[in-house]
């Protein structure tokens, strides 16, 4: 989830992807650290994470550097641990790993196609924005009036399609137009959020299929 880019000094997907993989490494380290974090700390960390994400939307460019990026992904990994623990207890560690594998394959195949084909997916932008607004609205609704049965399944499938769509859109944008060097951290942050949210919705789908939803 990221804006269109323009600028004289740009880099391509091959420069952005290593930074993306490094962001996943920081998230993994954060998740490992999360196993030792007291429960009372998770809510404050989630508030910090949300605050950093909002700040990133306003700051952008040079003020969102690599330190900010990797600190965010580390905290994101810490706060993701309770989610993994919840699903591990509900559907088992093997199914959580299977969900991660499915997410990785879907994300990787989508990104590779968008990168190598250099097809223009900019037309998806409007649909994706409507979709993300719908997801946010449904998420808020689900907090107060839990979605049941078919509605929760449709919500989950919508989330999967939205973040696969964002992956197509973002990678295609980078492959076709490049990214200004000072915007690489923002580009990586967008790709990271696409992957984490895709993984979350795939976990939800596995939870539905195995009779354990949140």
Whether pLDDT at 133 is above 70: yes
pLDDT in tens, 163-191: 999 999 999 999 999 998 888 999 999 99
Q: Give the residue from 209, 1, 192, 200 showing the smallest Cα distance to 103.
A: 200
Q: Which two tokens stand for residue 129?
A: 């924005």
How far apart (Å, rounded) are the C-alpha atoms in residues 108 and 130? 24
Q: Is residue 20 part of a domain?
A: yes
Q: Is residue 3 part of a domain?
A: no
For the chain, helix (H) and strand (E) counts, in that order, are 7, 2
Q: Is residue 88 part of a domain?
A: yes
How far apart (Å, rounded) are the C-alpha atoms in residues 214 and 208? 9
Supply the range of the domain harboring residue 23: 11-209
Q: Is residue 91 part of a domain?
A: yes
2-14 CB burial, b ≥16 within 10 A, e <16: beebeeeebbebe
Q: Is residue 5 part of a domain?
A: no
pLDDT in tens, 48-102: 999 999 888 877 655 678 999 999 999 999 999 999 999 999 999 999 999 999 9
Q: 1-5, 23-27, 94-98, 206-210: lowest mean pLDDT where?
A: 1-5
Q: What's the whole-number average pLDDT of the chain?
A: 90
Q: Is residue 214 part of a domain?
A: no
Q: Do residues 183 and 61 make contact, with C-beta atoms less than 8 angstroms apart?
A: yes
Count of positions (residues) in the chain: 214
Number of domains in the chain: 1
- 23 CB-near residues (< 8 Å, 6+ apart): 69, 70, 73, 188, 189, 191, 192
User: Which bin fits 4, alpha (ψ -120 to 50), beta or left (φ > 0)?
Assistant: beta
How far apart (Å, rounded) are the C-alpha atoms in residues 190 and 43? 23
Q: Do residues 18 and 191 make contact, with C-beta atoms less than 8 angstroms apart?
A: no
Whether pLDDT at 23 is above 80: yes
How far apart (Å, rounded) are the C-alpha atoms in residues 4 and 129? 14
Q: Is residue 108 part of a domain?
A: yes
Q: Is residue 118 part of a domain?
A: yes
How far apart (Å, rounded) are the C-alpha atoms in residues 133 and 113? 26
Q: Which two tokens stand for residue 111?
A: 């990104």
pTM: 0.90
């Amino acid at each position: 989830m990221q804006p269109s880019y323009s600028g004289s000094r740009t880099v391509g997907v091959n420069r952005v992807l290593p930074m993306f993989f490094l962001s996943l490494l920081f998230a993994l380290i954060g998740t490992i650290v999360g196993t030792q974090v007291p429960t009372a700390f998770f809510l404050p960390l989630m508030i910090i994470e949300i605050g950093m994400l909002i700040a990133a939307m306003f700051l952008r460019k040079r003020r969102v550097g690599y330190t900010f990026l990797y600190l965010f992904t580390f905290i994101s990994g810490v706060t993701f641990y309770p989610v993994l623990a919840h699903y591990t207890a509900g559907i088992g560690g093997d199914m959580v790993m299977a969900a991660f594998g499915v997410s990785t394959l879907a994300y990787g195949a989508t990104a590779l196609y968008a990168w190598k084909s250099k097809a223009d997916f900019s037309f998806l932008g409007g649909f994706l924005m409507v979709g993300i607004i719908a997801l946010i609205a449904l998420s808020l609704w689900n907090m107060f009036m839990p979605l049941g049965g078919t509605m929760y399944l449709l919500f989950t499938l919508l989330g999967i399609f939205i973040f696969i769509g964002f992956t197509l859109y973002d990678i295609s944008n980078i492959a076709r137009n490049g990214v200004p060097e000072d915007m690489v951290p923002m580009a990586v942050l967008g790709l990271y959020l696409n992957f984490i949210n895709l993984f979350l919705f795939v976990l939800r789908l596995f939870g539905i299929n195995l009779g354990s939803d949140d």
